[in-house]
Every structure is written in structure tokens, then in C-alpha cells.
Copies of this chain bind each other. A is one copy, B any other.
């Protein structure tokens, strides 16, 4: 792969790439070990925002059972050109927080609607504590 270069993306460039929302993949430790699921997300006020089902598996796995304590998760977004064999990926790491209280209404309106059917009223926010990205390109 001598014609390929890998470039580390800085925080600003990574944020720019993910700010339009779309599909991302949330990774966390479930009762079955590491788990990854695609979700439809919105980037809102500096954080990843998505909806899931209250008391669904994702909700239960992300509850620490300790009020005010959040679960550390990873959220990955990428755009990959299979035929060109190039693309970028951004990794956001941080606590997953259930959005409740007065800020919920506005955030809920801003958030993309989930594709999955059913009642998905739980709003989850990931506030980035670490953002890294990389791009593979032809040189």
C-alpha cells in the first residue's frame, strides 16, 4: 500500500466532519462484553445526541445505577469509499448521559428521529472528553 498516506485529524477537523450528523456507531461494555450498534445521531451543542428505547437493552446497559454517574462509551463516525479504498473515521470518547430536566425538550426537538420503530423516548448525550480522527488517502 505504498501509494496510501494516513493523516491524523485534529479536534477541529474531526468536529467539522461529524457535525452534520447521520449514522454513527456506539460502543460500550454490555452484559455480553464489548458491543457496537449503529444509531442515527445529531451533533448538538458540542455533543453527540441520539434516541433509544427506555428500558431497552441499550438503556439498561448504559445505566450505572448510581445517580449522577455516567458510563464511558465510544462513538465512531466514518465515511468510507470502498471502490477508492480511502476514507476518514472519527472516534469520540466520553460519558453517556441521559438527558432529563428542563434542557430535554429543546434537545429532543433537535435530535434526529430514530429509524427503528417503537417508542424511543430516551435521549442519550455523549459529551466528548477525547476526539481523535484519521484519514487514509492516496498520496
A118 to B6, CA, bound (A): 9
| A80-B38 contact given A6-B117, A72-B33, A114-B1, CB 8 Å threshold | yes
Of B5, B32, B78, which one neighbours A130 at CB under 8 angstroms?
B32
**Closest residue on chain B to residue A35 by CB atoms:** B74
- Total interface residues in chain A, CB < 8 Å: 40
A→B interface (CB under 8 Å)? 1-2, 4-6, 22-23, 25, 27-29, 32-38, 72-76, 78, 80, 82, 85-87, 89, 91, 93, 113-118, 130, 136
Sample of 8 A–B contacts (CB below 8 Å)? A1-B113, A25-B76, A27-B36, A32-B130, A34-B74, A35-B93, A38-B78, A86-B115
